Amino acid sequence: MNQTLFVQTGTGIDTHGQDITKASVRAVENAILSNSMPGIEKALPNNSVDNMEVFVRVAVPLDREKVDVEEIKNVIPYGSVTVDVTDGGMATSSGVILEDENDDNDLMYIVNAAVEVGSN
């Protein structure tokens, strides 16, 4: 990405079930769902969102290898999307193990996301 136009951050949590992809998707959704970029097309080559580059970084505490990158990409509605999974976030006790929620343990996963929008 040669020009960064917009950066937003978010946090996502999976309280039960230890699903790192679910927490990652929630973090990306949190970063983008309350934003509006009405002038973005004018800043992109050929005035088209098809030319938008999106770089998503998710910082996960555990199970990095289990993150479904394609599921994260599906959250972004426009542009060419690249996802980087890195160490970070937090795993902490939820205080209870709920078998009906598929808990393997009492951990909840907290993921941080940064979404950068720009162009080449």
Could you tell me the pLDDT band of residue 35, with boundaries at 50, 70 and 90?
Answer: confident
Asked if residue 24 is part of any domain, the answer here is yes
Average pLDDT over residues 93-113: 97
Rounded-to-integer distance, Cα 78 and Cα 88, Å: 27
Q: Which pTM does this prediction carry?
A: 0.94
Mean pLDDT confidence for 25-47: 91
Runs of H (alpha helix) within the chain: 20-32, 40-43, 69-73
Torsions phi, psi of 27, nearest 5?
A: -65, -40
Range of the domain at 66: 3-34+48-119
pLDDT of residue 1: 86
**At residue 101, does pLDDT exceed 90?**
yes
Question: Looking at the domain assignment, is residue 78 inside a domain?
Answer: yes
Structural domain includes residue 39: no
CATH of the domain at 62: 3.30.1330.20
**Residue 42 pLDDT more than 90?**
no
pLDDT attached to residue 53: 96
Residue 66 lies in a domain: yes
Domain count, the chain: 1
Residue 57: inside a domain? yes
Is 41 domain-assigned? no
Give one word for 101, left, alpha or beta, with left for phi > 0 and alpha for psi -120 to 50. alpha
